[in-house]
Amino acid sequence: MAEPSITARSLTPDAVRSAYALIQPYIHHTPLLTCQTLNTIASTPQSAESLVGTSFEGQTPAKPKFRFFFKCENYQRIGAFKARGAFHALLRLIAERGEEEVKRRGVITHSSGNHAQALALAASTLHVPAYIVMPSISTPSKIAGTRSHGAEVIFSGSTSTEREAVVAEIQAKTDAILVPPYDHFDIICGQGTTALEMEDQYRALVSDKPHLSVHASGAEDGSRHLDAVITPVGGGGLNAGVATFFSGKPTRVFGAEPSFEGADDCRRGLESGQRVESVKTLTIADGLRTPVGILNWEVISDRSKVAGVFAVTEDQIKAAMRLVLERMKVVVEPSAVVGLAVCLFNEEFRRLVEKEAGPEGWDMGIVFSGGNTTVEAIGKLFG
């Protein structure tokens, strides 16, 4: 891998802490939930039948032990973690360029929905005009949510190349300042505040209720840590931000992607040693249809920061979503549960946990990235 840029080097835990200090007045402190039923399901070996047709066919299924801690960013403002990065980027932009210039020019971005709504909310809150380029196939509720905050929505094709072309056209007319959806220092730092909250909440929770952890005895409260955290990977801002916060700490970070129509570009890029530059997929995990950004790739491809990225099928995503809806009574969108799906169904990952955690198991943090779906969309998925 090429020598990291100065910008990548400046992505540090302290940068994430600075972002948190700035955005706290504008975001929700989302809950960290546990679920004994999902712990039990994930800690039970998969059936031999489920491994038929895979490279693990005929082998004894793995038996890892998990205790899950779910960071529920579906309860964040606009229903997704994206509010963190959007508020941070816009607040930094105003601090650097001045309120007058930013309000005069406005801001622009492209997004399938969650960053669109997040920037629209941040711009409305801070009284800045916003132009949002959205794929015409975006979820109607996400389009409506973006417009509800007063942003001007312009439609485009579904690929990142098509989106960026429309952004360039609008910028030429308006001189609006681009706030990228994921491949930006301030966005990454903002998203990384998810990990900061998660770590603090985990320590407080297991201090009060030690039985929730696989490490019920042993560590002092201040040294308790999640063994691992897994997040979805689309553009990579959340994963890169979380990995940035946990860099230098014992918590390992993993990524999760859909495999449908090549949506697992990050996993494939890591396998080949080169970032995949374009993705064209209609996976049900619509928030993960973009290629990993350049800056995010520098973080995620650093094995000292991200330990691996794993992929799951559409059916596995739906199965994980059903479990969250029915067992946890928590409303999530498909993109939010790819990390849980990896823990439940990806035999390669499950074997890794079994091998490295041993009989004690792992305390596993899972980020539910968003909950922007509708009754109609859920009905269509499971109809």
> How far is CA 153 from its chain centroid?
24
Cα distances (angstroms) measured from residue 38 to each of 82, 201, 312: 26, 20, 18
Residue 236: HSE in the Cβ half-sphere, 13 Å Cα cutoff: 28
- How far lies 1's CA from each of 10, 265, 298, in Å? 18, 17, 8
Are 195 and 241 within 8 A, CB to CB? yes
User: What's the token pair of residue 249?
Assistant: 């700490």
Assigned token pair, 279:
């993705």
Q: Describe the crossing of helices 82-97 and 185-208 by its angle, rounded to 10 degrees.
A: 130
> Does residue 317 come out as left (phi exceeding 0), alpha (psi in the -120 to 50 range) or beta?
alpha
Burial class (CB in 10 A: 0-12, 13-18, 19+), 217: exposed
DSSP run (H or E) holding 144: helix 140-148
* Residues taking part in catalysis: 82, 112
